[in-house]
Amino acid sequence: MQDPRTQYSMDNKRSNPEQPDPGLDTILKPQADHGENSYQGCNRLAGRKALITGGDSGIGRAVAIAFAREGADVIINYLPDEEKDGKETLKQLEGCDGKSWAIVGDISQQDFCQDLIKQSVDKMGSIDILVNNAGKQIFVEELEELSSEQFCQTYATNVFAMFWLTKAAVPHMPPGASIINSTSIQSYQPSAGLLDYASTKGAITSFTKSLAKMLINKGIRVNGVAPGPIWTPLQQSGGQPAEKLDHFGEHVPMGRPGQPAELAPTYVYLASQESSYVTAEIMGVTGGAHLP
């Protein structure tokens, strides 16, 4: 048992001007906790087949580690520029009961989304857990500075890819399967400067609830997780302005940003049979900045 306010200490020197877009966990300062040394599985996902987008870093890496340690076969997807992080994630999955693979490519392209599902089914035999987690977030302070190109690319990565992947995956998903979409507190409490990102998260929230009602007739559950301020490379690679990084997450009641490791158990719960009566729900992990 630990005091949640002080469970993870963060110093006030978080700015790293050399972070690229997409961001990398390997150069994130300070380092995030993905549960590498703490998550202990108990066979809750034995025999399951999971595909996780954005599985190289941040929340995706934490979920991949947890799923693998719970006994699932795991495929992670990420961009070519994230190869270094992806290899580190695969290293963390070694020694688990299930198998693990990486499939590299850009989910903002419809053709690749369809190929990603095909390759995943070829490797695992089926897909019964789909985690739509990859996301694009770039802070732009003024409306006139937000380009159409960025707006469209954010939607392609965050929303269109979710649709393309889900549509391609559902024919391969048996009754009892679970789809988990990463939305955000930004869906309910949008920040100035995140117009494109926040609006995609609102779309994801509605997409999740509508899709759940559509797919329950196939025995497939659909839920979402809405993180609050979580310490990931997304923040240091343009997701937040540099001047805000030193105090990122301090505004929530818990007084600190969350760590990816603190999200993983929620995804495990929604993937497992323990949540058999849960669908069309959005579960907040927000440090007290609660959902409506």
Query: 97-101 long-range contacts, Cβ below 8 Å, gap at least 24?
Result: 97/43, 97/46, 97/71, 98/48, 98/67, 98/68, 98/71, 98/72, 98/73, 98/74, 99/73, 99/74, 99/124, 100/64, 100/68, 100/73, 100/74, 100/75, 100/76, 101/74, 101/75, 101/76
Q: What is the reported pLDDT for 243?
A: 79
Mean pLDDT of the chain: 94
Domain containing 103 equals 45-285
Q: How many structural domains does the chain have? A: 1
Distance CA(62)–CA(75), nearest Å, equals 13
Q: What is the reported pLDDT for 22?
A: 78
Query: How much is the average pLDDT of 206-215?
Result: 98
Write the pLDDT tens digit of every residue in 262-279. Answer: 999 999 999 999 999 999
Is 275 contained in some domain?
A: yes
Known catalytic membership, residue 39: no
Is 3 contained in some domain?
A: no
Burial class (CB in 10 A: 0-12, 13-18, 19+), 278: middle
Is 33 contained in some domain?
A: no
Task: Report whether pLDDT(17) > 70.
Answer: no
Look up the CATH number of the domain holding residue 264: 3.40.50.720
Is 162 contained in some domain?
A: yes
Confidence of residue 184 (pLDDT cuts 50, 70, 90): very high
Q: What is the reported pLDDT for 152?
A: 98
Q: What is the reported pLDDT for 2?
A: 93
Confidence of residue 23 (pLDDT cuts 50, 70, 90): confident
Task: Report whether pLDDT(165) > 80.
Answer: yes
Write the pLDDT tens digit of every residue in 199-210. Answer: 999 999 999 999
Query: How much is the average pLDDT of 242-264?
Result: 91
Is 144 contained in some domain?
A: yes
Q: Rounded to the nearest 5°, which phi and psi values hold at 104?
A: -95, 135
Q: What is the reported pLDDT for 292?
A: 87
Among 8, 39, 155, 197, the active-site one is 197
Task: Report whether pLDDT(12) > 60.
Answer: no
Q: What is the reported pLDDT for 240?
A: 83
Task: Report whether pLDDT(26) > 90.
Answer: no
Is 136 contained in some domain?
A: yes
Is 34 contained in some domain?
A: no
Distance CA(292)–CA(273), nearest Å, equals 26
Query: How much is the average pLDDT of 218-234?
Result: 95
Q: What is the reported pLDDT for 16?
A: 58
Query: How much is the average pLDDT of 103-119?
Result: 98
Write the pLDDT tens digit of every residue in 139-150. Answer: 999 999 999 999
Is 31 contained in some domain?
A: no
Spatial CB neighbours of 62, under 8 Å, sequence gap ≥ 6: 34, 35, 39, 260, 261, 263, 264
